Amino acid sequence: MAPTPDASIDPFTSSSVPTVTKTDHPTVSPPTPPVSQSTSNTSTDTDEDSKRTRLTRPRLTQRKSSGTMIIPRDAPVEAPPQEFPPDDARAMSPRRSSEETEKMLVSARLSIEKRAQDMQSGLAAIATQIETVSKNCESLDRQNQALQDAIGDMTRSLSRESLSSKKK
Backbone angles phi, psi at 6, to 5 degrees: -120, 150
For 108-119, how does the pLDDT look when each residue is reduced to its tens digit (9 = 90+)?
A: 999 999 999 999
CA angle, 83 then 105 then 109, to 5°: 160
For 13-66, how does the pLDDT look when each residue is reduced to its tens digit (9 = 90+)?
A: 544 555 554 555 555 555 555 555 555 555 555 556 556 667 777 777 776 676
Looking at per-residue confidence, does 111 or 71 come out higher?
A: 111
d(CA 15, CA 53): 19
Listed in sequence order, the DSSP H helices in the chain are 43-51, 89-92, 98-167
Nearest CA to 19 out of 2, 3, 5 is that of: 5
CA angle, 44 then 45 then 46, to 5°: 90
Q: Supply the pTM of this predicted model.
A: 0.35
Specify the pLDDT at position 134. Answer: 96
